[in-house]
Amino acid sequence: MIVRYPDSVLADDEQLVVHRHPHWKRLIPAVVIFILTSGLASFAAAVVTATTWDPAAKHVICGVIGAIWLVVVGWLTLGPFLNWLTTHFVVTDRRVMFRQGVLTRSGIDIPLARIEHVEFRHGIVDRLLRTGTLTIETAAQDPLEFSDIPRVRQVHTLLYHEVFDTLGSEDSPS
């Protein structure tokens, strides 16, 4: 389930060029934690159920195991998933937008006309997963790095073309 970036954020006649969430590799630790926590909670509940303890004590202990599982899964699994789902890297024909956060939202907009330099970087694992870090440099700020951008080379190329098209350069790539 990929959440579409709301068109209401775009200005009149502004066209969406690319919209990305961070790469799914960010969710691997959350999935591993979910599997391990679920397995451990199931094992603990099975051990408690197999004992000869009082049935009321068994229910209380299983309830505690379930509550601990719920807190761990909610904090270490659901939290990262919601963070991933609400993080957006968007390129339009006018600007680059980055938004993130669940309860507290933050974001940055970079007009294409202010972009001076765009580069990408990815190691061997990132190349296998087709992801990487995109660095955007403007005249006014230190370079901004956006990590885990899926298909970073494609985004780099699209952004490069949009910057040249915005500038109306004669040597704009075709």
pLDDT in tens, 54-113: 989 999 999 999 999 999 999 999 989 999 999 999 998 889 999 998 888 898 999 888
Question: Does 16 map to a domain?
Answer: no
Same domain for 157 and 98: yes
Q: Which residues contact 31 (CB under 8 A, 6 or more apart)?
A: 77
Enclosing domain of residue 104 = 90-167
Same domain for 109 and 65: no
Same domain for 77 and 108: no
pLDDT in tens, 29-69: 999 999 999 999 999 999 999 988 898 999 999 999 999 99
Same domain for 106 and 39: no
Question: Does 172 map to a domain?
Answer: no
**CA–CA dist 17, 90 (Å, integer):** 8
Same domain for 113 and 65: no
What is the count of structural domains for the chain?
2
Same domain for 79 and 35: yes
Phi-psi region of 173 (alpha: psi -120 to 50; beta: other; left: phi over 0): beta
Parallel, antiparallel, or unpaired for β 115-121 and 106-111? unpaired
Same domain for 133 and 148: yes
User: In the listed set 65, 83, 101, which residue is the last one of a domain according to the structure?
Assistant: 83
What CATH number is given to the structural domain containing 130? 2.30.29.30
**CA–CA dist 98, 108 (Å, integer):** 5
